Structure 1
Amino acid sequence: MAIDITSQSLAGAQPEQTGAYKESRPQALSGFPATDKPVSRSRLWRPVARWTRRNFSSRAGALSGGEVIILSVPKSGRTWVRAFLCAYFCKRHGLEFTLQPGRYDRPGFPRIVFSHDLFEHRTKGDLWDRLRGKYLVPSRELRRAKIILLVRDPRDCFVSLYLQLTRRDPNAAAEFEKKTVSDVLRDRRFGVRAIINTMNDWLAEFSGRNNFTLLRYESLRASPAEHFRDLLALLGESEPEMPIFQDALEFSRFENMQKLEAAGVFDSKILHPGDVRDPESFKVRRGKVGGYREYLAAEDQEYAADALTELDPRFGYNA
């Protein structure tokens, strides 16, 4: 089913509430948030072994050839960013909307690689997959292409990931069906510290590169028009066509994405609910900044806050 990206297709969508979030400076897409907190090298320095950045699998091809590589831990807002970019560039080129833009190969339509990279390397597949580096973006690609690291408060990220594991993913559900959110919060592979370690490792690997940009989910939520324009400029679209830009913004609003996901109109399993009767099983769920407080008990919030002290302060998140 073709999806028409127009304002008329968005009737009834209401502005979402982002909560009381104060933007750090400098803003996203312009460097790292300012901080007076010193970085403890002994605590944060987690060098990634060179061999882990090699991909000998057939999947390396799908992770190669991008002009831009967007890396993120799952549930960091990647689907939202993908939906906006696909809506803009598909409309810009007069093409049918898709969440898999790799099907289009034409000048002016940027090739974007989306990957969970290190996080999937550590949590997905078997030993053979990890030995081959199946989920890693090849190092040559990271030297050549622009790198965007999309990040979100690890506590919010964890809660959304927990709900995905227990409500959306039937393969993972069996493993976690007897575990509470408190158990998974402390899990070695999927817990909040696993998220923090991955974020720190990415920053240690990429922060000194000229082709690296940090994009914070909370910045996008606070000022989507401003930061999506900056993102388009990074992709070479320095003067976007504003009617198309506005349509893409409206199309990718959370309320509209939820409506379309419930209707099952997308051409990809990327946006299909685990159970249409369960709002918590939707891919586009809430996106609320600070929403983790509604799911974690006081003791678990304290544990997560302690874990957050291990996150590189340049990310701009604090307990």
Structure 2
Amino acid sequence: MRRFFTLIVVLAALAGGGAVWWLNQGLAVSADTVDLSVEPGTSVRGVAQAVSDAGVQVSPSLLYWWFRLSGDARQIKAGSYEIERGINPRSLLRKLVRGEEALRAVTLVEGWNFVQVRAALSKAEQLKPETQGLTPDLIMTALGKPGVHPEGRFFPDTYTYAKGSSDLAVLKRAMRTMDKRLEAAWSQRSPDTPLTSPEQALILASIVEKETGRGSDRAMIAGVFANRLRIGMMLQTDPTVIYGLGESFDGNLRRRDLQTDTPWNTYTRAGLPPTPIAMPGKAALLAAVQPAPTKALYFVARGDGTSQFSASLDEHNRAVNKYQRGQ
């Protein structure tokens, strides 16, 4: 009986011009914006109550009946929303039906390692730190890839997320994106590639990403490494050595570091390292599987972001003297 009486009152209040006035009347809010969280499975009445509890000064019963009478109540979507001061009931319902969540963004940069990824996620605004305190192994287990090394497994991009989302959810999206990007790149591999698996392509792409100073050189750098892999020549790439040194690297790579054996030291071990060393972007992935046709076996930085490529050691030594030693 009470609900029936309420319905009659609401119908009367929303009839004719009164309805138009109320539906377009700005609602008072306890702050410039308030956060509204609509959990999956919340009833229409629960949504109306949540709006009121969030700090919007409106009758939950009146709002509930507006939702019901609009015909769109079943279209309200779960999510995290920001409700601005002065929003009217019509705009509020439209926001909830469209699922216009309050989104934040975090950017994962090409060439970052997993430590840097975790640091960025820990600083991301209103991102729930589900992975805090977890080891990399436990994180990969939570992501459904137990025993897989996390390095290079996440695609560098800008990811948007709703307030209150978890860092694990962002990592899962980045991981799935990398899986798709790697699969797409591998399907476009050159027929004469020395690589035998997508895994090897990911590892080489990560090296290319770290070695490239200018994007136009990526394919040539990949070509040098492909040539070395074909003839069994050491890759001898500094970024892998630095990665293997870990936290002990102080920013200055010394001769003794090149001689310090780690699984990632490509001066002491032949072939590709056991894992990627960073996150490669799309261009590096494609360069790894489609290297430039070249006879070059060496390259050295010119100092302007580009590289000088050489086919012989003598030619390379002359380039080193010119660009590195100023001779």
With the length of structure 1 as denominator, give the TM-score of the two structures.
0.20
With the length of structure 2 as denominator, give the TM-score of the two structures.
0.20
Q: Which has the larger radius of gyration?
A: 2
Highest RCO, 1 vs 2 (Cα 8 Å, sep ≥ 6): 1
